Chain A
Amino acid sequence: MKGKLACAVLMAPFFLLLVTVFLIPTGTAMWLSFFAADQPGLGFGPESTVFVGLRSYGAVLSDPTFLNSMFTVVLYCLLYIPLMVAGALTLALLLDSGVAKLRGWMQMGLYLPHAVPGIIAALIWLYLYTPGLSPIIDLFAKADVRISFLGIDTVLPSIVNIALWSNLGYNMVIFYAALQAVPREVLEASVVDGAGPVKQALRIKAPLVRGAIVTVGIFTLIWALQLFTEPMLLSQSTPMISARFSPSMYIFDAAFTRNNYGLAAAASVILLAFTVALSYGVTRWTNRKAG
């Protein structure tokens, strides 16, 4: 009895937060996506709230600007996630192998960018990317290299770069912690069997931290699909980032520029469903490979 009470008390904060910051907003979005304040005809008459079924969903899915934003974010994931996982794992393996000197300083230096809030990071990079302000562009210009970080083809890699800079260190720490848990006797056995440091890293260590790789991959995926802060800020400086660049920006634009809440709500639910389905798919796929 006492155990049950303790359990309830300890779990209560979690469920309270789950309900107030997740379930209620999600429920509201669902409701908003099925109802609308309609006026018939040209729309200048009095409004009445009616059930509109899947109308808002149909509108979102038939909107080429929304489909473009989905395409953009998928492309972003394809660029960003492999680079992030491979980069963080490589750094963690290097630190773990003992090749790196001053390990503590290296770790701190790599982790520090993660402590910078995303919006500040985007501002710093915005400064470095903007022609006329950026010392980097000036430096390249002195060497007669004209470089544009915010051009039509470079803007997506530029955003990937900001995200990598922010998150590489954090994920490296997760991998490093996982590598610390690899049993030493397994490593010693591999040395005895003739594995060099590279072979050991790729064939022994990496497979043993598979769980961490999958976790990092899924968290990175969920985070990446919500791409918003960086492009939103960069859009101030380049017309190559439209107001509907990513799905989250599309939702923001629908709600606050177009005052179209049904559309914004439907797009939110679609993005949520897409994210859930994709994470579930990835989990299933990796589990099956493991089994």
Chain B
Amino acid sequence: MEITFWSALRGSQQVVDAFNSSQNRIRVVFQQIPSGGQGGYAKLSNAARAGNAPDVATIEYPQVPGYAIDGVARDITDLVTDRLKQKLLPQALKLTTFDDRVFSVPLDVEPMVLHYRADLFQANGFEIPATWDEFAALARTVRSRFPDKRLTLFPTDGGTQFACHAWQAGARWFDTSGGKWRVSLADEPTRKVAAYWQGLIDEDLVFRNAGDSKQHDAQIGQDRVITRLSGAWDAGAQMRARPAQKGKWRIAPVPVWDEQVVGTHGGSTFAVTKDSRQPEAAMEFIEWQCTHPDALTARLKSGTSSQYPVAPGLVEAGAKAFPGEYYGGQDIYRLFQQEADKIRDGWVWGPRMTATLKVMQDGFAKAGAGAGTVIDAVREAQSGTMPDLKALGLSTEEGAR
């Protein structure tokens, strides 16, 4: 039996090879596709429209509801066994469950962490900031001591990063509990987070350019930005992108407001598509990928991934397989585990998240250039999303704005 699998995740080929050699009933044919924003999602949508989507597709958390509504991701509630459910972190599975139906199986869950330059922190006697107030104070110190350096970047293309900050502060951009999509992007916690970053921007304490850019590569490569706020996965991406900085980075918990909670940044899920003719086989492969230690080991051995598995039972295998020299032997998986337990409950992604975040980022880019503010961008994202949802025929309601 043959099934097809599309993914942009690094190390997928190694995982597929391991699966294919572990048994001889199901043969997975893997195709590496571009990441979602680079055309991967367009490719999946077009294939689904033409009726030849792969059996198994990789979808990031924010895009799951959209693909579920469009009927691309199959309702797999009946295929998710209790055995599988028990192996997964419930807060991750909740993010792929809508209307009591499961639409995809999470692979990794990525609490936001603080990646920092341990060498520069030590040389200058900087303390790791535990709260956002301490973070802002440190940003001031860094700028006054090193006019060409900044503590961090406010990524103008970082809609998901901003969402994660809002999530941590207790925002609920989308709420489905009333049987309709209640949209409140500019709720009170989000306004607090927006004001915080606006302050850092106004005081010129952070860089403000695209994160996915040559400019930011240079900022990191030339030691001009000394912390990165991103998901656990970014530890692996950093290793691959900048081997020369080996040993200089360490990872700490992300700063908090007052409660000890965090949001997530990144993470992927696997969906069985509507076009699959072997959903059971597809599900078997997904279950193996998400819960078998050999799958995680194969991925991490590729040396480019540091995903934090959604199955707590795999953490030990992850800690063992992750090549730790880059982080000076720090037990980053223990840290990720401790942070994953702090993920705040109640977040729901919206039905057209790619577009919503894009409008927000257009506003961020303007705010970064001094025209408009962070909260303006959030409000524009809301007003640019509502017509979309209405035209899709969804029941909607506008909350705080």
Contact = CB atoms under 8 A, between A and B. Distances in A.
Contacts of A152: 366, 369, 371
Given A242-B362, A253-B355, A59 B387 contact: yes
A42 B97 CA distance: 12
Interface centre among B70, B366, B391 (most CB of A within 10 A): B391
Given A36-B391, A42-B179, 10 more contacts: A36-B392, A38-B392, A42-B99, A55-B390, A59-B390, A239-B156, A242-B359, A256-B42, A258-B355, A260-B391
Contacts of B292: none
A56 interface: yes
A65 B179 contact: no
A43 B392 contact: yes
B177 to A, nearest CB: 10
Interface in B361-401: 361-362, 365-366, 369, 371, 380, 383-384, 386-388, 390-395
Given A44-B69, A152-B369, A257-B358, A38 B180 contact: no
A152 B156 CA distance: 14
A interface SS class? loop
Nearest to A266: B391
Interface of B: 42, 45, 66, 68-71, 75, 98-99, 101, 103, 156-157, 176, 179-181, 210, 351-352, 354-355, 358-359, 361-362, 365-366, 369, 371, 380, 383-384, 386-388, 390-395
Given A38-B393, A42-B98, A42-B176, A239 B387 contact: no
A257 B355 contact: yes
A250 B96 CA distance: 29
Interface residues of A, number: 39
B181 A42 contact: yes
8 contacts: A39-B393, A41-B99, A42-B180, A43-B181, A47-B71, A56-B391, A60-B387, A244-B384
Interface string A113-154: 000000000000000000000000000000000000001100
A65 B356 CA distance: 11
Interface centre among B98, B355, B358, B371 (most CB of A within 10 A): B355
Contact of A44 (B98, B358, B362): B98
A255 B381 CA distance: 18
Contacts of A59: 387-388, 390-391
Contact of B362 (A41, A55, A239, A257): A239
B384 to A, nearest CB: 4
A45 B42 CA distance: 23
Contact of A64 (B45, B98, B384): B384
Contacts, number: 113
A64 B394 contact: no
Contact of A239 (B45, B355, B365, B392): B365
A40 B394 CA distance: 6
Interface of A: 36, 38-45, 47, 50, 52, 55-56, 58-60, 62-66, 151-152, 239-240, 242-244, 253-254, 256-260, 262-263, 266
Contacts of A259: 45, 66, 70
A66 to B, nearest CB: 8
A55 B396 CA distance: 14
A274 B180 CA distance: 34
Interface centre among B45, B103, B176, B384 (most CB of A within 10 A): B384
Contacts of A240: 365-366, 369
Contacts of A64: 380, 383-384
Contacts of A263: 387-388, 391
Interface centre among B42, B101, B390 (most CB of A within 10 A): B390
Contacts of A43: 69, 181, 351, 392-394
Given A55-B391, A239-B365, A44 B68 contact: yes
Given A42-B180, A239-B156, A63 B387 contact: yes
Given A152-B371, A259-B70, A44 B99 contact: yes
B49 to A, nearest CB: 8
Given A65-B359, A243-B362, A44 B101 contact: yes
A240 B210 CA distance: 12
A240 B362 CA distance: 7
A166 to B, nearest CB: 27
Nearest to B372: A152
Contacts of B45: 256, 259
Contacts of A253: 355
Contacts of A40: 393, 395
A41 to B, nearest CB: 5
Interface centre among B101, B354, B388 (most CB of A within 10 A): B388
Contact of B361 (A239, A258, A266): A239
Contacts of B393: 36, 38-40, 43, 50, 52, 55
A254 B351 CA distance: 14
Contacts of A257: 42, 354-355, 358
B378 to A, nearest CB: 14
